[in-house]
Structure 1
Amino acid sequence: MTELRYVGFWARVLAMLVDSLIIVAIIWPLMVWFFGWEVLLQGVQGGAAQVVHILLSWVFPILAVILFWLYRQATPGKIALGAKIVDANTLQAPSTRQCIIRYLGYYVSTIPLGLGLIWVGIDARKQGWHDKLAGTLVIYEQKPN
């Protein structure tokens, strides 16, 4: 059996930056198309516009990330690194429940000055608090022999 290679802090930061750039590249043009630059610079306020803003800014990214985790075990940034998210016990794909807990765990990890995210650099298995809460690991994909 091959030894697991955990994905460390800086590689995960790089993956997150790639993912963030992709999300922004998709969402900003849509926001400009829906609202125009003037409204965006002044702030979207009230009614249907606020609903669209929430859908594009919050709901779409949350769904996109969770769906990537469910169907690819990684977001595009992690895919580019050859990394994937697995269940910490079985090393199989995480469940829907684990993916949702993992996503919500980002908030828990971020609130105390990002300590739960920095934990990736401290932990032996490179788990952030969101990984520990969800029972997941981020590992490099094993190459077939």
Structure 2
Amino acid sequence: MNIEPAIPTSKNPPAQFAGDVWLDPIALPHEPDQTMVVATVRFAPGARTAWHSHQHGQYLRVTQGIGRFGTRDGSIIEVHPGQTLYTPPGQEHWHAAAPGVFMEHIAMIQNAEDAAATTTWAEHITDAEYNGE
């Protein structure tokens, strides 16, 4: 048993995120058969991910602010602190901070056998998609 070493906060890359988004890892695999990854992700107002999906799905627990989550059918769900959103395996989606507020969530995913295949990234969302138009 051990206390995990602190990993510095990193800014997420603009190829997959629009606006300022920061990542703080909480749990990463240590052993070859471990696949759980947990991180705190902080979004500046209006910041967002590009379209993406996860091979094994994803849980997102909003801890501060208001999260905005969208799917390809145009649905947008607002999620508040204390609520957890589940995205099924393979479902394309995006997540963001609502306009005018910061948002923080804890992201929980299971890595694919090939960790690089865990998340499949696509194009950035448009302002119209973000605004539900």
TM-score (norm 1): 0.28
Name the one with the larger strand percent: 2
Q: Which has the larger radius of gyration?
A: 1
TM-score (norm 2): 0.30
